[in-house]
Amino acid sequence: LETLCKHQDHSLSQDDCKDLVCERLQVLVAMQQYAKFADEANPAYSPQQLAAVEAMLEAFGSWLSIAYIEETSDAQGKRYFSCLIDASCDKLPLGNGAVKRKPKFRIELPGFPILGHGKSDNQNCAVIFTRGEILQMIDANQDAYFEASLFLPSALQEFCQGERGGRRPGILGFREHIFSSVGLL
């Protein structure tokens, strides 16, 4: 994206491009199972997955945030929370040198959040932590193409005022290639 920024405005330095991209881009990963593999009492506990999350947070720094769903039980019954962590969150030590992050935000949900197939519900629990007026949702099993990033400036022009009597599109869709165990879908 820094390369695209430099291509759009030749007068900007590399540091200015980086600052501009950091201002306008937020990468939010909806990691539905984080609470389970970060809980030592849960059978799904996985220090390897926690280490992978830490590696991602170290590699991407302030660009990356992770949203997840947390379930608690108390006298009132089960309660569900949508939580957000990032590289600035405190590390809480676990066994075997593993760490989990203390949530930056923790928002109580009105009930069990997964009503359908899970993918859209998982994205809905993460979308409350986004900012800005343009969002791009990408699935984990959707392969990324460098060529697709080149038409991003053209796609963003669709949201500019003027061409449609002042109306902007609400949804803008593009073809996607989804890779799975059954092949290309």
Q: What is the pLDDT of residues 3-45, one digit of tens each?
A: 777 777 778 888 887 777 777 777 888 888 899 999 999 999 9
Residue 163 — pLDDT band, cuts 50, 70, 90?
low
Q: What angle do CA 19, 176, 64 make, to 5 degrees?
A: 30
User: Does 1 score more than 60 pLDDT?
Assistant: yes
Q: Name residue 132's beta-bridge partners.
A: none
Query: Is the pLDDT at 65 greater than 60, yes or no?
Result: yes
pLDDT at 26: 76
Say whether pLDDT at 144 is over 70.
no
In this predicted model, what pLDDT tens digit does every residue of 69-99 receive, in sequence order? Answer: 999 998 989 999 999 999 999 999 988 889 9
pLDDT at 23: 73
Tell me the whole-structure pTM to 2 decimals.
0.71
pLDDT at 178: 59
Print burial letters for 5-33: b (CB count within 10 Å at least 16), e (below 16).
bbeeeeeeeeeebeebeeeeebebbbbbe
Strand segments, DSSP code E, in 75-150 are 77-86, 91-93, 99-101, 105-109
pLDDT at 114 over 90: no
